[in-house]
Amino acid sequence: MSISLWQLNTLSKEMFVGQIGGVFERSPWVAEKAWEARPFHSVNELHEAMLAVVRQAPEEQVTELFRAHPDLATRMTMTSYSSAEQQGAGLHELSPDEFKRFAQLNAAYAAQFGFPFIMAVRGRTKADLLAAMQQRLQHSAVQERRQALLEIQRITQLRLIDLIEE
């Protein structure tokens, strides 16, 4: 399902959020606040407005955005966006040993940082993801919050490009 940028700009707040509220994982508040910056002249401008909402949000709300993301290779219910992205990385076809390793790293990461490991998985392999998880467990909390925001920026940009026709 796609929508033109022109159409998106003409929507009520409720309809706007209905169209793009899921781009930031289970965080429609980002789209609700970004709606106020309409009209957008490009997908990039919309994306920047949405990122500005996140950057201006209280730290606790940003942490909730982080926590809205699913673990990698989870068997729990995910949004359609996350499910498709993880399938594309082969995370739906893990061996029992691979699944166990992802579960261990997910648990270690969440225990250390207080939110799930977040990474733009499109174009990545299982091996890429495992290596990144191991490396990022060496980060400080400040480094990892910064990295999580960068990954969310990549994820949401790709989602908006897929969703909106310019």
User: Hey, which residues are catalytic here?
Assistant: 69
Residue pointed to by tokens 């174009």: 123
In single-letter form, the type of residue at position 131 comes to A
Strand 164-165 with 3-4, pairing: parallel
Query: What is the C-alpha to C-alpha distance for residues 14 and 2, in angstroms, rounded to an integer?
Result: 17
The angle formed by the CA atoms of residues 51, 143 and 30, to the nearest 5 degrees, is: 20
**Nearest Cα residue to 153 out of 44, 12, 56:** 44
